[in-house]
Amino acid sequence: MIEEILNKKLRSVILQALIVFIALLACGGTLLLHLKNLRSSVSRDQISLEAQEYKSRIFAQFQYDIQTLSAISALIEGPRDETDRSLLARKLDEANRDGAFVTVAFFDTDLQGVICPPNGEIVTDASLPELPQELQSAVYTALEGTPTVSRLFESRISQQRVFAYSIPVYHEGTVIGALSATDYIDVFGSILAEDTALGSSGYIHLLGTDGSFLMRSPNTVVQENLSNIYSGSYLSESAAEEVRGAMARQERIFSSFTHEGVSYPFLLEPVGLNGWYLFCVSTGSGLTAVSERFNSLVGFLFLLAFLLVMTVVVRGYRLLRDYHLELKRLAYYDPLTGAENMVRYHQRLTEAMGMTGGSVVALRTRQFPFVTEIFGKERANCLLCEIKEIIGRHLRSGEFFSRDTEDIFYLFLMDVDPDAVRLRLQTLIDELVRGTEISKSDYEMAFYCGVVPSPRSDDPGATADHMRTSVHFALEKAESGHTNTIWFFDTELHKKEDLENYIERHMNQALRDGEFEMFLQPKKDLRSDTLAGAEALVRWRTTGGRMIYPDQFIPLFERNGFCMQLDLYMVEQACRQIRVWLGRGVTPIPISVNQSKQLFFKPDYVQALKAMVRKYGISARLITLEILESLALENVDALNGIILQLHAEGFRISLDDFGSGFSSLNALSRLKIDELKLDRAFLLNLSPQEQARSQLIIKEIVQMARLLSIATVAEGVETAEDEGMIRALGCDFGQGYLYSRPVSAADFDRIFMQGQLQNGPSGKEV
């Protein structure tokens, strides 16, 4: 009886243990399946993000190459005939000297053209119908007015597989030909060799429409040199059929392959160009291997004890869950503040722009590096955390924000009305200014905001990219203003930034191509009413005929130092013009040329000017160097030292814009200048109440200059009344629109220099 009871209890215990074991096994299986799906989901998300990034990089490479080709197309000035094809070919060859492309070619609408191969013989009589069909197709498309990229083909020149860009070339609004350039598919090698979405645990291949490998990553688990993904151990027969169907439809597909007993998930992502695909493989440690290790561990623990198995399973689940959360945190969150990072922000922004629209805001702390220097790294980090908490309190449902590098935070607000956005941001800034620990230590905190509002978009990805780019322009504009500035992006600001970017990218080439033109404005001798000289003024006319005016490029050149090269270039243009007059037997007139502060104090400045006048065989007295009043007031002694060297060579020195700033009569009396140019505002923009006293002062300055043997020039003379006034003040020369606007050197020669014969100038009236 006791034995039977014990047996019953034993059977009950065994049954209970079996039930627990089965329950635990079922739970363990369910857990493993859940972890597998979770890991697969995260892996898919990360691979998808990385594929989008690499697609962006590939398209950025294409866009860069198309832009480079467009820049080269500026060399083509109009319809071509056989007589100037050689010249065009040399220009194209020179433009591609840095090896941007393998070959560059131009075809007229009659399908004849030139080809410039690398380090080879230039072909000037190429016939398009004789070239590979892929290239022909690209050129025909470009001749119809559409830029395009060809499929891969075998180059007869390099004997390698290449593809071709082709863009239309316009002249006066009409397509006159197509400019093409070929490049190796290897141009994408450096892009595909970089780390992928799983850090260093993955790689990317570039495939053709037939699954062939166009570009293989060096980091691959399948080492065989296979021709396409359908050969070797990549795909099973069923998976291969599935992939073929998806690629034929240009659809994205997730799948996996098994190699040496390990399963590797992959994504086939269409590039959107020529039917190409990105083959993105996540290596990691392999899902099959992970599952087997977990199953073995669970089985072993079950053999030890039911409770121990249960404890380990629960503990393992928690660890893996925490690990997954940590991976997600690292992928999507800023480790310092806990705010979302830019990867996650861009995801959410793209989604929001496709649903509701809204405003992107970039917020930055004024002089954050200075804050770090004063209060230390730890307190600066605490400030960033405080900013994160305050921003979070000001957001509504559906809005979000992230932290980028250093002190920049990006916000998404669902408001698009500027007044509403400004009010919300001002409220936020007010709390940031007074609500942080550092602001309570008598340090005045300040913040800047750049804002880009946009309604819902049918192309949310492109709109999100554009807004992230545009908000930087607005933020830079806000930083240049007063503290706590909120600046909204506008198209005019963007146009200005585009123009400045164009100027900086093309200024050196423009100087080499002679796009900077010398215009001349005459100076009148008020005593004899004759032509006394001219001032050289620069204008920039691009090869496309666009005119860029000095106020658009001179301030930028003064900031980046390019003005030194331009000023010397203008001196040379003046010397060349004087040489032309002398060669024609025309009595030359002096030409004044503006000189920048950076150039005037350059060590070899005087030697460069000496060499220039000797090169053209002219007298240095025919060149007047104009310096600004601000330069003269900084260091009179150092400036006089340079002036004396220039005087020794015969150059004349003029002090420009006198009276535009804080003019110093003491500096004027000490400077060894030859000419004083009085600013128009100093002379003419006087109220009736000020005129009597001001004219008395100006008259005394003119008289003092005369006693110092300094000639005076009045600028901005526009009316006969203006001229009468400067005559009464005793000025020696006048310059302004009354006599002439600045005109090209050729027009100046025709209008003012006819009859200025040597050994008997006509003294032409102005």
* Predicted local confidence at residue 577, as pLDDT: 97
Give the pLDDT of residue 688: 62
CA dist., res. 417 & res. 429, Å (int) = 18
Q: Do residues 617 and 645 lie in contact, with contact meaning Cβ atoms separated by under 8 Å?
A: no
Mean pLDDT, consecutive 10-residue segments, the chain of 766 residues? 50 66 70 66 74 78 83 74 72 77 88 83 86 88 88 78 88 88 75 55 77 75 76 76 84 81 82 79 57 55 64 65 67 88 90 89 90 90 93 94 89 93 93 87 86 86 83 84 78 74 92 95 95 96 90 90 95 97 94 92 94 96 90 78 95 86 68 89 62 78 91 93 91 96 95 70 57
Interstrand relation of 202-207 and 277-282 (parallel, antiparallel or unpaired): antiparallel
User: What backbone torsions phi and psi does residue 312 show, to the nearest 5 degrees?
Assistant: -65, -40
Q: Which tokens is 713 given?
A: 């020039």
User: What pLDDT is recorded for position 135?
Assistant: 86
Cβ count within 10 A of residue 416:
17
C-alpha of 329 from chain center: 31
Cβ atoms 633, 673 nearer than 8 A = no
Distance CA 281, CA 258 (A): 12
**Cα 130 from Cα 112, distance rounded (Å):** 10
Tell me, what's the pLDDT at 709?
93
What was the pLDDT predicted at 366? 87
Distances (CA, A) of 115 to 84, 95, 105, 420: 14, 13, 4, 58
Distance of alpha carbon 41 from alpha carbon 48, whole angstroms: 10
Q: Angle of helix 720-729 relative to helix 688-707, nearest 10 degrees?
A: 50
Distance CA 656, CA 516 (A): 22
pLDDT for 466 equals 81
Are the CB atoms for 503 and 556 separated by under 8 Å? yes
Alpha-carbon gap, residue 462 to 491, rounded angstroms = 17
Query: First vs last Cα of the chain: how many Å apart?
Result: 140
pLDDT of the residue at 740: 96
CA distances (Å), 184 to each of 51, 56, 103, 217, 362, in order?
22, 19, 10, 16, 40
| Contacts of residue 201, Cβ cutoff 8 Å, sequence gap at least 6 | 282, 283, 284
Cβ atoms of 134 and 150 within 8 Å: the answer is yes
Inter-axis angle of helices 85-95 and 2-73, nearest 10: 140
3-state secondary structure of 534: strand
In whole angstroms, give the CA distance from residue 505 to residue 703: 48
pLDDT at position 618 is: 97
Domains observed in the chain: 2-40+294-331 (no CATH), 74-187 (3.30.450.20), 342-489 (3.30.70.270), 564-743 (3.20.20.450)
- Confidence (pTM): 0.45
